[in-house]
């Protein structure tokens, strides 16, 4: 038995010395110490020896196993260190080389204009409020005095999820949520994404942004609305900007109007940009309909208010003289760097 163990030791030592990879080293381990290995076979042959000899033989085999395991582990450590050193030599970093330059993004023109609008209105004491993009039919239509048979509820214009749940077509629903809280007076704007089933072209998109404004207080008049929006236009488009209001109809305001501003390209004298009129339409507005106040549990005899809504993309296109709305969504850094 001793001679057999010495023979195995010598064989393993020779194999380990010539081993140049951890895969081959593992094969040697399995061939000697595995379930079918040579050392395991020796242990199985102990039954051929007398009972009084077996403890001594078992001790000899275990000593040999310990020596072989130590030899294998030492060689494994040497191989792993050699592999690590070779990898480090191959992956040398030259710290004197210039670093890779990261291409930074740029603020989107929509973001620039939205921040400007928020600055203007927060400077007037307004609060910026957000609301859900997935909205109930009640808040998007009914609470805004738009009955079930109104054309705006046609499925061709609105993305319905269920019969009562939809993707909001306007941010006016945020105003209803605020009015229902009952905290008066209210001075707020509600910017956000809205959705309508429109074909994509130079002036339309199924997803765009609106900014709704609402004021509810005692003794509010149409003159307050005109003065607020005139100041907004001067701040956004320049101090020489003039405004005019034309009668219009919106279900949730009465009276209602659309507001035009003097063309900032020609100063009102008429050009291609304003189609020769000298004026450009930018938003709709009006006094909050008494029925809308009633549905939100506000007494129209005591409180009145005004509301307005403007498309963020529309004023962005006008402010920067962009003639195609699709340019705003293509994320072309060459386009964005111009703003």
pLDDT score of 139: 93
Confidence of residue 85 (pLDDT cuts 50, 70, 90): confident
pLDDT score of 140: 92
Q: Is residue 255 part of a domain?
A: yes
One domain, residues 194 and 308:
yes
Q: Which residue range is the domain that position 86 belongs to?
A: 2-90
One domain, residues 183 and 286:
yes
Say how far apart CA 42 and CA 308 lie, in whole Å.
94
Q: Strand 243-250 vs strand 186-195: parallel, antiparallel, or unpaired?
A: unpaired
Average pLDDT, the chain: 87
Q: Is residue 95 part of a domain?
A: no
pLDDT digits (tens, 9 = 90+) for 43-67: 677 667 677 777 777 777 778 778 8
Of 24, 29, 26, 51, give the one whose Cα is nearest residue 39.
Answer: 29
Of 312, 109, 274, 300, give the one whose Cα is nearest residue 192.
Answer: 312
Say how far apart CA 29 and CA 9 lie, in whole Å.
12
Mean pLDDT of all residues in 291-312 = 94
CATH number at residue 312: 3.30.930.10
- Matching residue, tokens 């900032």: 264
Give the DSSP letter of residue 23: H
pLDDT score of 152: 62
* Strand, coil or helix: 259: strand
Q: Give the tokens for residue 22.
A: 């951890």
Whether 155 shows a pLDDT value over 60: the answer reads: no
The model's pTM is 0.67
């Amino acid at each position: 038995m001793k001679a057999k163990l010495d023979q195995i030791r010598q064989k393993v030592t020779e194999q380990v010395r010539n081993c140049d990879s951890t895969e081959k080293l593992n094969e040697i381990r399995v061939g000697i110490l595995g379930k079918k290995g040579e050392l395991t076979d020796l242990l199985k042959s102990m039954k051929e020896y007398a009972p009084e000899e077996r403890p001594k033989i078992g001790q000899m085999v275990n000593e040999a196993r310990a020596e072989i395991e130590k030899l294998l582990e030492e060689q494994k450590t040497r191989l792993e260190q050699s592999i690590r050193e070779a990898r480090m030599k191959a992956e040398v970093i030259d710290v004197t080389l210039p670093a890779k330059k990261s291409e930074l993004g740029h603020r989107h023109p929509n973001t620039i204009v939205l921040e400007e609008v928020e600055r203007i209105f927060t400077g007037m004491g307004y609060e910026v409020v957000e609301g859900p993009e997935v909205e109930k039919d009640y808040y998007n239509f009914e609470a805004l005095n738009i009955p079930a048979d109104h054309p705006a509820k046609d499925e061709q214009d609105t993305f319905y999820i269920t019969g009562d749940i939809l993707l909001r077509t306007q941010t006016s629903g945020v105003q209803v949520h605020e009015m229902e809280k009952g905290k008066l007076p209210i001075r707020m704007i509600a910017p956000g994404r809205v959705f309508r089933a429109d074909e994509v072209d130079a002036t339309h998109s199924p997803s765009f942004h609106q900014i709704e404004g609402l004021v509810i207080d005692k003794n509010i008049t149409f003159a307050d609305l005109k003065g607020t929006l005139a100041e907004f236009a001067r701040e956004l488009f320049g101090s020489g900007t003039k405004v005019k209001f034309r009668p219009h109809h919106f279900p949730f305001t009465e009276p209602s109007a659309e507001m035009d501003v003097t063309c900032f390209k020609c100063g009102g004298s008429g050009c291609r940009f304003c189609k020769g009129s000298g004026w450009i339409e930018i938003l709709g507005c009006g006094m909050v309909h008494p029925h809308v106040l009633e549905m939100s549990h506000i007494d129209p005899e005591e409180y009145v208010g005004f509301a307005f809504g403007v498309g963020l993309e529309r004023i962005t296109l006008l402010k920067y003289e962009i003639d195609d709305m699709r340019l705003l969504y293509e994320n072309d850094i060459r386009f964005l760097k111009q703003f």
